[in-house]
Amino acid sequence: MVWSSEFRDKVVVVTGASSGIGRAAALAFGAVGARVGLVARRRAALDEVAGEIAAHGGEALVAPADVTRRPAVRDALGAVRTRFGRLDVVVNNAGVLIPAQVAELKATDLRTMLRVNLFGALFVMQEAVAAMQEQSGGGCIVNVASLAGRRGFSALGGYCASKFALVGLTEALRTELHGTPIHVALVLPGVIDTPMAAGVAHDDEFQDMWPTALTMPAAWVVWAIFAAARFRLVEIAVPPGAATLEKLGALVPGVADSVLHWGTMATRFVSELLGRVRS
């Protein structure tokens, strides 16, 4: 990506930087010369990411924080500003997924997902906006939501609810900041090859909906994050166009439900058939 050189010497904060999409994004920004603030709960994992960035000539600051605590978010972003002087891009990526059918969803599990996926993202947005309003040139906030924030899927009802809420917050903030130098972008990935997705790989209903063979690499989402920040895109799905299909489906929800049902049944049939062939 020739245009990735635009991030050289920019200050980029990545939350959820210890693994998955966040780790891949942090390493990619470091590789193109950005100064990277690494935010997550696990210091040891962040130290490893920082070490990889440094080994390739980059510069990173480890700023451990639990995003569900706004004072911790404020301290982490403050540490990055103190070290590097400003915040140019904030990749709001920390998230958690606990699968369950809605009828069986535990309130404690839903609360956990809301605390991280919604309130954690909110706190990061609030602190990032406050910092960017104080500096010249504004900045860019890239919220990593999910295609599950545009369409409900079983057995991801609780996760979908948290991501639907994040999409709404993002759109509201974008409207509130219209005409200012602060840009707010939304990245909507499908199922990505990350530890979070691996954690639900054993769920039969999830596998019926999205077989492992269709899982996409984290690099695809990193590209979307780069593009959203560089070209100030409002929204980008991974794969491109998927969110548009979901929006069209919302116009005829009954039809969309039927298509999803039959698609799931077809996927289950093909998976079982292939399993018999291999055995």
The crossing angle, in degrees rounded to 10, of helices 121-133 and 70-84 is 40
Taking 60 as the threshold, does the pLDDT of residue 40 lie above it? yes
Local confidence band at 279 (pLDDT 50, 70, 90 cut-offs)? low
Taking 50 as the threshold, does the pLDDT of residue 12 lie above it? yes
Mean per-residue pLDDT of the chain: 87
Cis peptide leading into 44, omega within 30 of 0?
A: no
Strands of the 235-238 sheet, one edge to the other: 59-62, 35-39, 11-15, 89-92, 139-144, 182-189, 235-238
pLDDT for residue 253: 63
Query: pLDDT per residue over 210-266, tens digit each?
Result: 555 557 899 999 999 999 999 999 999 997 776 555 555 555 566 445 444 444 444
Assign a CATH topology to domain 2-251: Rossmann fold (3.40.50)
Predicted structure pTM score? 0.86
pLDDT for residue 239: 79
What share of the chain has pLDDT > 70, as a percent? 78
Query: pLDDT per residue over 44-103, tens digit each?
Result: 999 999 999 999 999 999 999 999 999 999 999 999 999 999 999 999 999 999 999 999
> Can 159 be counted among the known catalytic residues?
yes
pLDDT for residue 42: 97
Average pLDDT over residues 13-28: 97
pLDDT for residue 155: 85
pLDDT for residue 37: 98
- Domain ranges (residues) in the chain: 2-251
pLDDT for residue 16: 98
Taking 70 as the threshold, does the pLDDT of residue 135 lie above it? yes
pLDDT for residue 32: 96
Catalytic residue, from 29, 84, 153, 159: name it: 159
Local confidence band at 174 (pLDDT 50, 70, 90 cut-offs)? very high
pLDDT for residue 274: 44
Local confidence band at 104 (pLDDT 50, 70, 90 cut-offs)? very high
Query: pLDDT per residue over 204-225, tens digit each?
Result: 555 555 555 557 899 999 999 9
pLDDT for residue 275: 53
pLDDT for residue 263: 43
Higher confidence at residue 12 or residue 261?
12
CA–CA dist 9, 23 (Å, integer): 19
